[in-house]
Amino acid sequence: MYFVALTRSNVNPALVFEYLFQKIRILKAYLGEEFDENSMRNNMTLIYELMDETMDFGYPQNCAVDVLRLYINLGNIRQQDEPDTSKLTSQITGAIDWRREGIRHKRNEVYIDVLESINLLMSSTGDVLRNEVTAQVQMNTKLTGMPECKFGLNDKLVIEKETNQNRKPGVEIDDCTFHRCVRLGKFDADRTITFIPPDGEFELMRYRVTDNINLPFRIIPAVREMKEQNR
Amino acid sequence: MSRRYFEICISSCVGWKAWTHFMPCHRRVSINLKIIAQFAATLFATNVVVKIPVPKNTAKTKIKTSFGRAKYEPEQQAIIWRVKRFPGKSECMLGADIDLMPTVRNKGWVKPPINVEFQVPMFTSSGVNVRFLRVFDKSGYTTSRWVRYITKAGGYQIRI
């Protein structure tokens, strides 16, 4: 299946791609991970409605699944409590559209998953040709209210600023991207990661490291081709 | 006339000496592989799969491993070595003797790299770890936090 976007003006291609990826994510949330042409055909009205909400006059609008679920309730999506209409307006137009107010959890829990993927290319003489780690930090938050979170990694630039000398040296993180809930201004100023998290699962950040990588496995191959002439 | 037939014709005209030129020269290949886990001994890697390429004209393989299971899989043209659980700070050897089928023309063996797949829970190869996560809310509740780490192989390749 292909997702195609058309534009009449010279728009930022990153915007178009981001919108398409968000759109796929929303469709997955509504139609299930493995949606196909049939499920799209059967849910045409739902998809029209989602289109209407996520795009206005060619400008991407609200693409947060949690928020869309509040007022688009077709298909097999779980029925939520009927929201107060006055709250709904402030939700859509407010600054924090990825989290609705008044979320309650009995137990407040946060799960953090750091998933790293290591790439290595080693030559036959044992030289490292390419070595990098790309990683993502996944979070699952079950928090009450509108909590303010502060997240810290052993980032070299942060550790060096701290006066405590007996800490282990930090890791040089090459480049990172964040979920849009993270305050980028604050990160640019002093590299602290602060945010009001969305409820449930989301990807907080991605980063890349290219220096000082601990290889989990060392592999030493020896290949010998025996020349064994017939005569 | 096919090219192969043509070559044989030529060689039979030129005589036995030229014919031997077309005889195979590599009849056997031996591969020794040592794999060392460099992470802490308290950890272990799971689902380690090492894919060792072998020549196209492989006839028979004799494989010895110190642990795990290794098998020649003709459809992948490789020896696939699987280890379910690989403890840290340990090392493992694989020795394979490969008999090749005789071929008329020696095409040479274009060696693709050895490819390794694995997962190491609670290990970060970059050394990144989560130092803190603080949650502030007006109601001032306490939060329980859990952190998991996992390192997977993306493209982990060693040329031979």
Query: Which residue of B lies nearest to A146 if distances are taken between CA atoms?
Result: B137
What is the location of CATH 2.60.40.1170 in chain A? 109-209
pLDDT digits over A182-197, tens only? 999 999 888 889 999 9
Name which of A214, A225, A231 to mutate to probe chain B: the one with the most chain B Cβ atoms within 10 A of its Cβ: A225
Q: Please indicate if any CB of chain B lies within 8 Å of the CB of A111.
A: yes
Token pair for B28: 């056997």
Q: Do the chains contact at A118 and B151, CB–CB below 8 Å?
A: yes
Contact A216 B151 (CB under 8 A): yes
Q: Do B20 and A107 touch (CB under 8 A)?
A: no
Residue B111 reports pLDDT greater than 80: yes
B107 vs A contacts (CB less than 8 Å): none
CA–CA separation, A33 and B88 (whole Å): 36
pLDDT tens by residue, A26-71 = 888 888 888 888 888 888 888 888 888 888 888 888 887 777 877 7
Alpha-carbon gap: A159 to the closest alpha carbon of chain B (Å): 10
Question: Which position has the higher pLDDT, A97 or B112?
Answer: B112
Give A27-32 contacts, CB < 8 A, sequence gap 24+.
Answer: A29/A65, A29/A69, A29/A77, A30/A65, A30/A72, A30/A75, A30/A77, A31/A75, A32/A76
pLDDT at B56: 86
The top-level CATH class assigned to A109-209 is mainly beta
**Which residues in chain A come in under a pLDDT of 50?**
79, 231
Residues of chain A in contact with residue B153, where contact means CB-CB under 8 angstroms, are: 117-118
Q: In CATH, what class is B24-126+144-158? A: mainly beta
Instruction: Give the Cα separation of A190 and A170 in Å (integer).
Output: 16
What's this model's pTM, rounded to 2 decimal places? 0.73
Tell me, yes or no, if B17 comes closer than 8 A to chain A by beta carbon.
no
A107's CB contacts (< 8 A; 6+ apart) are A142, B144
Q: Is B76 on the interface with A (CB under 8 A)?
A: no
Question: Which pLDDT value is given to residue A84?
Answer: 60
With CA atoms as reference, report the closest residue to A160 among A135, A190, A193: A190
Strand partners, A113: A138, B148
Cβ contact B128–A173 (<8 Å)? yes
Mean predicted confidence (pLDDT) in B43-58: 91
Which amino acid belongs to residue B21?
H
Q: For the ranges A165-179, A217-231, B47-61, B137-151, which has the lowest average pLDDT?
A: A217-231
Q: How far is CA A29 from CA A24, A77, A92, in A?
A: 9, 8, 19
Write the CB contacts of A11 (distance below 8 Å, at least 6 apart in sequence): none
| Domain edges within chain B | 24-126+144-158
Q: Compute how many other C-beta atoms are within 10 angstroms of the C-beta atom of residue B68.
A: 17
Three-state DSSP state, A120:
strand
Which among A110, A145, A212 is the nearest to B133, CB-wise?
Answer: A110
Q: What mean pLDDT comes out for the span B44-69?
A: 90
pLDDT digits (tens, 9 = 90+) for B12-40: 444 444 444 445 455 788 999 999 999 99
B-facing residues of A in 152-211 (CB < 8 A) are 152-154, 171, 173, 207, 209
What pLDDT is attached to residue A218?
92
pLDDT at position B20 is 45
Nearest Cβ partner for A225 among B29, B34, B147 = B29
H or E element at residue A62: none
Contact B113 A216 (CB under 8 A): no
Helix/strand/coil for B72: strand
Q: How confident is the model at residue B67 (pLDDT cuts 50, 70, 90)?
A: confident
| Torsion angle (degrees, nearest 10) of CA A166, A167, A168, A173 | -140
This complex has an ipTM of 0.77
